[in-house]
Amino acid sequence: MPTLTWQKSSYCPEGNSCVNVAIDTAGTIHLMESSDPRRSILGATPKAFAALIHVLKENEAHRG
């Protein structure tokens, strides 16, 4: 896997439980949980990532 530049979620409070996002040169979007960066990396297409964000924004129960 190429080296990725990670960006922390703007909704992340202080601490180690944050979602980080990166995009590679092929356009794949990667998600990582910052408290476990070596084992919790998920890859998604831009379309799948957009669908995830849409669901999270529309469903109040997913908000922290």
Q: pLDDT digits over 5-26, tens only?
A: 888 887 777 666 788 899 999 9
Considering its fold, how many domains does the chain have in total?
Answer: 1
What local confidence, expressed as pLDDT, does residue 8 receive? 85
Q: Is 18 within a domain? A: yes
> Is the pTM for the entire model greater than 0.85?
no
Q: Look at 63 and 33; give whichever has higher pLDDT.
A: 33
Q: DSSP state, 14?
A: S
Other residues' Cβ atoms within 10 Å of the Cβ of residue 34: 16
Distance CA 4, CA 35 (A): 17
Q: What is the pLDDT of residue 48?
A: 95
- 2: in domain: no
Quick one: pLDDT at residue 28? 93
Mean pLDDT, to the nearest integer, of 18-38?
85
Domain that holds residue 29: 7-59
Which ranges in the chain belong to alpha helices (H)? 46-58
Question: Which pLDDT does position 27 carry in this prediction?
Answer: 92
Number of helices (H), then strands (E), in the chain: 1, 4
